[in-house]
Structure 1
Amino acid sequence: MSARSEWSIIAPRKFALDGPVSALHVHIAGGTVNVVGAGTGPARLEVSQIDGPPLEVTHTGDTLSVGYPDLRRKGFRAWLGQWNRTVHVTLTVPAGTDATISVIGASAVVSGLAGRADLHGVTGDFTLLGLTGPIRADTVSGRVEAQAVTGDLWFHSVSGDLTVIEGSGSRVRGESVSGDMVLDLAPSPTCADIGLTTVSGEIAIRLPHPADAQVEANTASGSVTNGFDDLRVSGPRGACGTPGGSWGRKITGRLGAGHGSLKATTVSGAIALLRRPPSEDDDPDTTDGTQGKVL
């Protein structure tokens, strides 16, 4: 039978856990949660502020659970509009920990994890730093901002935005209704597989040099910006055949050998495909300009 330890926290405190932790479950409403992956040392918990009902902590086997039991039991819908609690908690766990983090009206920062990260938010925002494992984020209106992540990323939201900076994961999938999606992709040894879909949100993707992908991006009624001479833009033209029309356009073609894949679709939002500034190792004679063309 697995050993079980329990704490009911009603005031600020911090302590270290005796046993191992390889799975983390967090469910909070209001406040902040900071999860840090560390290479050495025991798992640690610090609550710097708490208002409302006690925060329950359980450690069973190698699973650490932190949150409110009623929130886990009844789900998010039972607590919409009931902001009678606030907690600010920091958790330091081994880097390989698999983490499930659910927030309502709270913000979460997750850094240094190599395990799986499953994120769920209603109105909470997520900031992800240096994650190397797979990431799955599902929000209603919360934003997801990811920097220097190398794992596969799945994003789904109603109106939340996705921003990826220096991303080098092999796969990115994004779906939203009205949220914007901005990807700044760093050079990677593997070819990326990118698929983004939104109804009214805008999509902007900045590709590294040299880029290597089959490209298909289209918008029904938004404008397009193309920063690559190797890609072609098709669709309605302006009056008298001039290029002034910018609605219902497609950007298609191949960059490099076309080993990767980039597909982006929006109904009424704009689409921009831009070239990332060259690194210091690039040959300036083989690098085109970084400015896109609005078509």
Structure 2
Amino acid sequence: MSEWSVAEPRKLSFDDPVTALHVRIVNGTVNVVGTDEGSARLEVSEIEGPPLLVTQKDGTLTVAYEDLPWKGFLKWLDRKGWRRSAVVSLAVPASTRVEVGVVGATAMVSGLDGQADVKGVTGDTTLVGLAGPVRATTVSGNVEAQAVTGDLRFSSVSGDLTVVEGSGPSVRADSVSGSMIVDLNPGTRPTEVHLSNVSGEIAIRLPHPADAQVEANTASGTVSSAFEDLRVRGQWGAKQITGRLGAGNGKLKATTVSGSIALLRRPPAEDEPWDVEPEGAPPADTDGPTDSTGPTGGPTDGPTDKKVL
């Protein structure tokens, strides 16, 4: 086993193979990026408080505080221990299995093919271009997942979930009061989406044409749907949206107690190249206010989109 104590800004390179990465910090920032290289690199650009312990053993690289275990991580409430901070950046092989734990820090994980497990207490997390299975668990931190093509699991107390251009085989999320905004990217394979909330809002934007069996329920919240093929039932109290879109190969299930549910439709124009314009059309006017945009940066189209996205 190799071991380093990092008490000041430092760079380290690891020649031995790295197949798993474990990171646990309090306050600051963690950046983990997958690369095509076979080796791993670490840079600690800022650090305050106790040193970070860096170990490498049997293919596992660990960057953490000695008094901050992974087990019971979300219940770590040693307030005196919060008086520390570090800015940590890591480049690892794309196939690496990654575990990242942040108490008050922000985390960004990108470019990985292996499994990614992220736990946060109050810090926000951004997940970009992950192809392997992903699990994100937070207390009050928000999670944004962009272009994730693997299975996504999310759980929080009050943290929000935003999925942009999601194209993985499944999205499963549960929260108490955090909002959920899920934008599904057009693709060939059906997607299973299961969202459960107590008081948080749920908004789901489906590609055009959509292909899913839909069931959405709320006990006392409001519902809205941009799809004529779906049935909306209930005027007072419990409300439900049900039906089939396309062949119904995918599955969409959303449940809330008092939160609202909105099913939105991605305008077909968003699938067209930006440079396609009718011949002889005048140039777009870029002076003055512009139309609002959806999560993918495309134009909105009347009732098929909502400002919540």
Cα 1:104/1:208, change in 2 over 3 Å: same
Secondary structure at 2:67 match in 1: helix
Q: What residue identity is the alignment partner of 1:85? A: R
Q: Residues 221 and 267 of structure 1 are in contact (CA less than 8 Å); yes or no, is this contact kept in structure 2?
A: yes
Question: In 1, Cα distance between the equivalents of 2:230 and 2:304?
Answer: 12
Cα 1:257/1:175, change in 2 over 3 Å: same
Per-residue deviation, 1:75 = 4.2
Q: Residues 133 and 151 of structure 2 are in contact (CA less than 8 Å); yes or no, is this contact kept in structure 1?
A: yes
Per-residue deviation, 1:81 = 2.4
Equivalence for 1:291: 303
Equivalence for 1:57: 54
Per-residue deviation, 1:61 = 2.0
Task: Provide the aligned length of Structure 1 versus Structure 2.
Answer: 275
Task: State TM-score, norm by structure 1.
Answer: 0.89
C-alpha RMSD of matched pairs (Å):
1.7
Q: Residues 24 and 70 of structure 2 are in contact (CA less than 8 Å); yes or no, is this contact kept in structure 1?
A: no
Secondary structure at 1:71 match in 2: coil
In the TM superposition, what whole-angstrom CA distance separates every residue of 1:5-34 from its partner, at most 9, and x where no partner exists? 110000001121110101001111111100
Cα 1:248/1:74, change in 2 over 3 Å: closer
Which of 59, 65, 69 is the matching residue for 2:66? Answer: 69
Equivalence for 1:255: 245
Cα 1:96/1:220, change in 2 over 3 Å: same
Which segments of structure 1 move beyond 4 Å, counting only runs of 4 or more?
Answer: none
Q: What residue identity is the alignment partner of 2:125? A: F
Equivalence for 2:141: 142
Equivalence for 2:19: 22
188-197 or 64-73, which deviates more: 64-73
Q: What residue identity is the alignment partner of 1:258? A: G
Equivalence for 1:109: 108
Which of 271, 274, 277 is the matching residue for 2:267? Answer: 277
Q: Residues 225 and 292 of structure 1 are in contact (CA less than 8 Å); yes or no, is this contact kept in structure 2?
A: no
Cα 1:233/1:292, change in 2 over 3 Å: farther
Task: State TM-score, norm by structure 2.
Answer: 0.85
Question: In 2, Cα distance between the equivalents of 1:277 and 1:225?
Answer: 17
Question: In 1, Cα distance between the equivalents of 2:150 and 2:220?
Answer: 33
Equivalence for 1:32: 29
Per-residue deviation, 1:293 = 9.3
Q: What residue identity is the alignment partner of 1:270? A: S
Structure 2: tracts of 5 or more residues without a match: 274-300
Q: Quick check: which one's strand share is greater?
A: 1
Taking the TM superposition and a 5 Å limit, the aligned residue runs for 1:1-295 are: 4-72=1-69, 75-76=72-73, 77-82=75-80, 83-236=82-235, 247-278=237-268, 279-280=271-272, 291-292=303-304
Structure 1: tracts of 5 or more residues without a match: 237-244, 282-288
Secondary structure at 1:291 match in 2: helix
Per-residue deviation, 1:119 = 1.0
Per-residue deviation, 1:207 = 0.3
Secondary structure at 2:69 match in 1: helix
Per-residue deviation, 1:210 = 1.0
Per-residue deviation, 1:79 = 3.6
Question: In 2, Cα distance between the equivalents of 1:126 and 1:18?
Answer: 29
Secondary structure at 1:19 match in 2: coil
